[in-house]
Structure 1
Amino acid sequence: MNYLIKNGSIIDPARRVATVGDVLIVDGKVEQVFDMAEMGSEPGPIPEGTEVINARGCVVAPGFTDLHTQLGEPGEEHRETIASGTLAAAQGGFTTVCAMPGTTPALDRAGIAHQVRAIAQRDGRVHVELIGAITLRREGKALSEMIELAEAGCIAFSDDGRSVADPALMRNALAYAGALGLPVMVHCEDSSLGAGWAMHEGAVSTRLGLPGAPAAAEELMIARDIALAEDTGAHIHICQVSTAGGVARIRAAKARGTRVTAEVSPHHLTMTDSWVLGSLAPRPAPPEPPAAKGKRARRGVAPELGLPSWLDPTLLPPYDSSTRVSPPLRTGRDVEALIAGLNDGTIDAIATGHSPQSRVEKECEYGLAAPGISGLETALGLVLTLVHRGEMDLVNTVARLTEGPAQVLGRSPATLRPGSQADVVIFDPDQAWTVDAARFASRGKNTPLHAQQLRGQIMLTMVGGAVAFRRGDFGRGGPGGRHTSQLSGILGGE
């Protein structure tokens, strides 16, 4: 079908566009963008059969790209399949996901890459890009056939949640990847520090009696991998940076001209290790969301970093394994540094770190639980917490979900430029909703956000001009009149 998206607040970071208007989509491509600020920008005759989508009060943007998604298939289908994971991605506003190689077997050979690509073409709701393993079986002992993986369509290399401990092997991997012009995406953790950790090492871990991973474990490995990238001239990408010291090392390396990029996950931007502490008090009823759409809530804040009161770690009991992630949730100081790094460009992209786990893998002793959060469907609501707190700009937030990931991959960013493929997301930044993990499209229901209130929800996701996800009857019922968006202040209007 053809679509006319009307009355939306259009944010297109690649073109430095933030305005209010309409978007016409014909035959899977963006045909024209009509800016209400320009005279004569009203759509003329539109193709017969075009569906009009009323996006009043919503943001229309290029589809998001997730650099860090675990899809499970092949071999880990009890955690996720490509069908379920890409449906979850569409519901989260992601039109492209980068599938990490933590499958069984690992994505370390061309034949497995071809298999995954075939499944994705058959079952995928969104575009699926492949990340090949750095080492065979992700064991850190011998390099994978990196050239063959690149020829099979892999766009980067990673050992997905595991650091390559051997510096000589890592140096060789960077040299090969540099020759191929592809980034190496690294999980930075010195496993000799805090072996057997359960959470971040600090006051909370001491109080709970849990072994902790010190921030130094991440920071040492970031420093080593940056040094190896400088030595080889290769592009290194730091996955899920979580510490203030890590941000400082990346910032310094960029200032020296090192080819280093970085990502941060929504949960590391909005949660701290106090979520593991939770509360021994009886669980209170989830608070009501803000009553007035479009108005910033003034209901007081939780003590942690000024979080809005409807995002509340005390809804969880202590030792709730849904809070166990890798890298672990850090301190308030680390969260502040991550937000600053995202704002000043030290951190290039927001990536979900989507890691679905089964109930068996999570419902056990805290330190034995598999780390990970099912993050695709809550990512937008979490990062918009920063916008509603005034700690991030909405346009910059969209850029870190679209333009930033594209730059990491060395690609042209997704855009609403006429002639481009119509990968489009529409979201309501003020829509309050209660997280219900049981209703996730993902097979992974593991999230500490169950029963929490978030503000900001995906309403429609379009991939290649086809609707991959629509929330209820959103957008139907006529275009309505032209209006001044409720987001005009955020977009720089009156």
Structure 2
Amino acid sequence: MKTLLKNGLMLDEQSKKLVKRDILIDGEIIAKIASEIEDEEAMQIEVAEKLITPGFIDLHVHLREPGFEQKETIETGTYAAARGGFTTVACMPNTRPPIDSVPIVEEILEKAEEAGYARVLPIGAITVRQLGQELTDMEALKKAGVVAVSDDGVGVQSSKMMKEAMRKAYALGLPVVAHCEDNSLAKGGCVHDGEFAKRYGLQGIPSEAESIHVARDILLAEDIGVHYHVCHISSEQSVRLVREAKARGQKVTAEVTPHHLLLCDEDIPEPNPMFKMNPPLRSKKDREALIQGLKDGTIDVIATDHAPHTLLEKQQGMERAPFGIVGLETAFPLLYTNLVRTGELTLAELIEKMTRKPAELFGLPYGVLAEGKVADMTVIDLESERPIDPSAFKSKGRNTPFAGTYVYGWPVMTFYKGVKTWDQADIFVTFEE
């Protein structure tokens, strides 16, 4: 089956300017890209003045299945991904049971294939049951399909265990994706250890809880040579450490979330659990360091850390509610509106951090629009402004601090392996209801 997208806009690789292009999809592959294409056999879709990008890639999501299907399932999570323009997502292992065995990996891949909304790349656990005591069979996990290892949700507290994990991962060519958190500093905290915590008498989580683990792991990884990737980096100290490691030529990479780029603890209006995430929203100075790190290449990619919870869980108050917010359906509009339209980032920089760079980090053959490549594509309306409406989410999660925020840059169509998995018509039907 052929599909022809007519009169779209693409970013020219050389000039970084928008140019008019038609794109012909033949089966799962991009067959042709040109200023004018005619093909009577193809189903034609008019996308005049809409931006066409490679399908977004998110290296950090929580699909919750198996074990927490009341929060999210592989089907609902990947449908949310499609709505947000994502065609590839890497799911974290802190499920129940964790992704620490071959059958769990196989189950996830099978359910993702059945759903058909987006490509799911499982990330295997570093330790059995994520307890930090015994390494998983990483070789078997890799053969089953994991693309990296992580104990995300908890930091690996033992330096000895982390060093052993890095040695094993290095031998297998697997990245170590680290949730950096020293429990002796972070335990019991619910927000950043800053002015907001003091104002409301809440126990804070200091920046050092993250940066101490970043420093430790960089030193361990330097000795071993493993690809070490920092999850959801949030502090100025951590950015500095990653920058120094890169300057030495070390294979250290990092991701940052939309919420850490756009918010700081000063933006929390009151003890509202929708603003509770881990790592927490840090200071304005930290936020500025994150933006600078993203611009200068210290931070490689943007990842959502999509973390759905039930509303009942999130209504338990700032201290008792679980950490996390959803992000798949709002990432691009929020970043485009608040960073690109304000001049902090260029459109080309934003797209690169959500497509080509994450593909390069994990050695994936995606993230580019080119003839002969897989037809993973996102069509975006850069001009229409609409509010973020959690009731319209395809994710089971409604936990976002951005509800009611007006944003531009909504994905209106998503193509995964040449098949249209999202169409703007679904949005408008929901909004009218």
Same fold (TM over 0.5): yes
Gaps of 5+ in 1: 36-41, 279-317, 475-494
CA displacement, residues 132-176 of structure 1 (integer Å, 9 cap, x when unaligned): 000111111111111111111111001112110000100010011
Residue from 75, 81, 84 that aligns with 1:83: 75
RMSD: 1.6
Separation in structure 2 between the aligned mates of residue 13 and residue 72 of structure 1, nearest angstrom: 37
Aligned residue identity for 2:32 = Q
Question: Quick check: 241-250 or 412-421, which moved more?
Answer: 412-421
1:82-104 CA distance string (max 9 Å, x none) = 11000000000000010111111
Contact kept, 8 Å, 1:15 with 1:415, in 2: the verdict is no
Identity %: 41
1:242 maps to a residue whose letter is: S
Aligned twin of 2:372: 419
Q: How does 1:194-273 map to 2 (within 5 A)?
A: 194-273=186-265
Q: Is the 8 A contact 2:366 2:374 kept in 1?
A: no
Q: Which ranges of 4 or more aligned residues in structure 1 deviate by more than 4 Å?
A: 12-18
**TM-superposition CA deviations, 1:3-22 (whole Å, max 9, x none):** 22122221376997853221
Higher RCO by CA contacts (8 Å cutoff, separation 6 or greater): 1
SS in 2 for 1:258: coil
Matches within 5 A, 1:66-215: 66-215=58-207
Are the structure 2 counterparts of residues 84 and 446 from structure 1 closer, same or farther at C-alpha, using a change threshold of 3 Å? same
2:8 is aligned with what amino acid? G
CA distance in 2, matches of 1:214, 1:130: 30
Residues 28 and 417 in structure 2, CA contact (< 8 A), matched pair in contact too = yes
Matched to 2:352, the amino acid is A
The residue aligned with 2:430 is none
Shift of 1:199: 0.3
Task: For 1:357, give the aligned amino acid.
Answer: H
In the TM superposition, residue 195 of structure 1 has moved relative to its aligned partner by 2.1
Helix, strand or coil at the partner of 2:199: helix
Once the two structures are superposed, residues 370-400 of structure 1 have per-residue CA deviations (whole angstroms, 9 ceiling, x without a partner) of 0001110010111112001100010110000
1:2 counterpart residue number: 2
Query: Does residue 335 of structure 2 align to residue 383 of structure 1?
Result: yes
Is 1:372 matched with 2:324? yes
Compared with structure 1, are the counterparts of its residues 361 and 17 closer, same or farther at alpha carbon in structure 2 (3 Å cutoff)? same
Q: Distance in 2 between the 1:376 and 1:16 partners?
A: 26
**2: CA distance, partners of 1:151 / 1:165:** 27
Q: Tell me the residue number matched to 2:393.
A: 440
| Paired residues of 1:13 and 1:415 also in contact (CA < 8 A) | no
Structure 2 residue matching 1:210: 3-state secondary structure: coil
User: Could you tell me how far apart the structure 2 residues matched to 1:216 and 1:346 are?
Assistant: 19
CA–CA distance in 2 between the matches of 1:321 and 1:151? 40
| 2:280 corresponds to | 328
* Aligned 8 A contact 2:100 2:124 in 1: yes
Residues 2 and 26, structure 2, Cα contact 8 Å, conserved in 1? yes
Q: Distance in 2 between matches of 1:82 and 1:135?
A: 23
Deviations, residues 388-425 of structure 1 (Å, cap 9, x unaligned): 11000101100000011112102344222111111010
Aligned residue number for residue 458 of structure 1 = 411
Residues in 2 aligned to 1:334 and 1:18: alpha-carbon distance in whole angstroms: 33
Query: What's the offset of the Cα at 1:32?
Result: 0.9
Q: Distance in 2 between matches of 1:336 and 1:351?
A: 18
Whichever residue aligns with residue 39 of structure 2, its letter is I
Which of 394, 406, 409 does residue 359 from structure 2 map onto?
A: 406
Contact 2:266–2:284 (CA<8 Å) still a contact in 1?
no
Q: Is the 8 A contact 1:13 1:399 kept in 2?
A: no
Is the CA contact 1:3–1:24 (under 8 Å) kept in the aligned structure 2? yes
User: Partners of 2:365 and 2:394 in 1: how far apart?
Assistant: 30
1:46 to 36, 39, 53: 39
For the structure 1 residues 14 and 334, does the alpha-carbon distance in structure 2 shift closer, same or farther, using more than 3 Å as the test? farther
- The amino acid that maps onto 1:433 is R
Code of the aligned partner of 1:170: M
1:196 shift after superposition: 0.5
Tell me if the contact between 2:57 and 2:88 (Cα under 8 Å) persists in the aligned partners: yes
Question: How far apart are residue 361 of structure 1 and its match?
Answer: 1.6
From 37, 43, 54, the counterpart of 1:62: 54
Say if 1:167 and 1:473 are closer, same or farther in 2 by CA, change over 3 A. closer
Count matched residues.
Answer: 426
Structure 1 position 19 matched with structure 2 position 19? yes
Query: Which structure has the bigger radius of gyration?
Result: 1
- Mapped to 1, the partners of 2:426 and 2:329 lie a distance apart of 19
The amino acid of 1:470's aligned partner reads D
2:30 equivalent in structure 1: 30
Post-superposition shift, 1:428? 1.4
The one-letter amino acid paired with 1:410 is G
Output the CA distance in 2 between the equivalents of 1:13 and 1:194.
Answer: 44
